[in-house]
Chains A and B, each alone.
Chain A
């Protein structure tokens, strides 16, 4: 077979030039040696004008300097999170978002410079923003009609607006319970959109572990008793305080126990355990429920994912609880994971750091300002 040759005007240079990303080649002093057409157009420059200019100055993306330094130092491609590698660029009163990729270039075995590639992710950013705003608006708009329903149902239930038949009372109880469920869902959606817009702070304060566990478990104990489930707390004495936002960490633990209750049969047990290992405390919630199949285990922390299972009882949420729990735990610098075996039960574990001093953590800002 004969390999076809590229026709003369189409060489690799032409290919690089017509890429949809802005591409720069810089030397080890970060001066531009080569750039493609997209880079010329976007940054209002030309091949001649760009020659020997510092890339951070040419593009007005100051962040590039630090990122290039990292790449030169480690001599490996840029490794950082999406947030760290995105940058907001203003041009002709329009805002653009770029994702930055940097790869070191070697010549005769020695570091020579780097290839810098800027991908326009503005549209992606806009979609994210629309989604976050939408979630916030929807959760907000649900509150007013829910007020009328909640107030009305409660008044009817209490018989304050006249007598009810037993069946009527039963139906109203069900409506009332579902109103509560909708209210919780709205709170969760709001919490999520807050986290995604990067506006919530986790105030890590010295938090007493026993208080935290009690506050999370107590409100659920009555319901657990009704379902015939035993809730056991297992805390060694004299645990050090953790660096945690009290309300948010209570929320995480209560959410895990609530989940466990939905998947555990009457006669089952839920154990809330805390153990210290070095400078971390491990909180675990173990149930004797139906377990989660292996193939679902890595999916359950994603947003809007709900694992349907035979063991599931009653009505749940929409699969936001664990996604929020993960965001909260990670904002504390902790980790969360699941161990489960079908038929044997599930254990969720998360870690919080032991309180050391003045810590305060902010969730990554989705609208991070670069350059």
Chain B
């Protein structure tokens, strides 16, 4: 049974790229385009892992991260931040809020696959 990955990203082209990349290795991909929708869909979709952009409409990625990691039911879901924010302060802030991994854009498909495999070994 393929694992479900929730991609939270508002850039259409990046969505296409990441989705293609995940489809290729057989993940089941759900996509939401803002932070609010991300919080709603986690309760609905029960993803096995979340790929989270930080600059998002409505509720920003840091807030999404904090909310999910603070809540008992969702705190165990691995969250991998995928962001253009490459400053050390942002990385530190995300890790402090409980992010499981922090990947800076741009990245290569292999890097993403390797990281995902670490969290979802039996896809």
CB distance from A200 to the nearest CB of B (A): 8
Chain A contact-residue range equals: 20 to 34
Give how many B residues have a beta carbon under 8 Å from the other chain's beta carbons: 21
Residues from chain B with a CB closer than 8 A to the CB of A330 are none
* CB pair B105 A152 closer than 8 Å: no
What sequence of 0s and 1s flags, for each residue 142-171 of chain A, a beta carbon within 8 Å of any chain B beta carbon?
Answer: 011111111110110010110000000000
B20 at the interface (CB under 8 A from A): yes
Contact among B85, B106, B109, B112 for A149, CB-based, below 8 A: B106
Residues from chain A with a CB closer than 8 A to the CB of B11 are 144, 148
State in angstroms the CA–CA spacing of A145 and B84 once bound together: 10
* CB pair B85 A140 closer than 8 Å: yes
* CB pair B20 A154 closer than 8 Å: no
B104 at the interface (CB under 8 A from A): yes
* CB pair A143 B106 closer than 8 Å: yes
Q: Report if A155-B109 is in contact (Cβ < 8 Å); known contacts: A144-B11, A148-B14.
A: yes
State in angstroms the CA–CA spacing of A148 and B106 once bound together: 8
State in angstroms the CA–CA spacing of A5 and B112 once bound together: 80
A179 at the interface (CB under 8 A from B): yes
* CB pair B105 A143 closer than 8 Å: yes
B32 at the interface (CB under 8 A from A): no
What sequence of 0s and 1s flags, for each residue 75-88 of chain B, a beta carbon within 8 Å of any chain A beta carbon?
Answer: 00000000011110
What sequence of 0s and 1s flags, for each residue 100-117 of chain B, a beta carbon within 8 Å of any chain A beta carbon?
Answer: 000011111110100000
State in angstroms the CA–CA spacing of A183 and B111 once bound together: 15
* CB pair A140 B106 closer than 8 Å: no
* CB pair A190 B16 closer than 8 Å: no
* CB pair B14 A152 closer than 8 Å: no
* CB pair A147 B107 closer than 8 Å: yes
CB distance from B43 to the nearest CB of A (A): 28
* CB pair B21 A143 closer than 8 Å: no
Residues from chain A with a CB closer than 8 A to the CB of B21 are 151, 155
State in angstroms the CA–CA spacing of A171 and B86 once bound together: 29
What sequence of 0s and 1s flags, for each residue 193-227 of chain A, a beta carbon within 8 Å of any chain B beta carbon?
Answer: 01000000000000000000000000000000000
What sequence of 0s and 1s flags, for each residue 15-49 of chain B, a beta carbon within 8 Å of any chain A beta carbon?
Answer: 01110110010000000000000000000000000
* CB pair B17 A148 closer than 8 Å: yes
* CB pair A154 B110 closer than 8 Å: yes
State in angstroms the CA–CA spacing of A147 and B106 once bound together: 4
* CB pair B104 A143 closer than 8 Å: yes
Residues from chain A with a CB closer than 8 A to the CB of B24 are 155, 160
- What residue of chain B has the Cβ atom nearest to residue A193's Cβ? B87
* CB pair A151 B109 closer than 8 Å: yes
Q: Report if A147-B20 is in contact (Cβ < 8 Å); known contacts: A140-B86, A190-B86.
A: no
Chain B positions near chain A (C-beta within 8 angstroms): 11, 13-14, 16-18, 20-21, 24, 84-87, 104-110, 112
Leading 10 A-B pairs by shortest Cβ distance: A143-B84, A151-B17, A146-B106, A148-B13, A147-B105, A143-B105, A147-B106, A150-B106, A148-B17, A154-B109
Chain A positions near chain B (C-beta within 8 angstroms): 139-141, 143-152, 154-155, 158, 160-161, 179, 183, 187, 190, 194
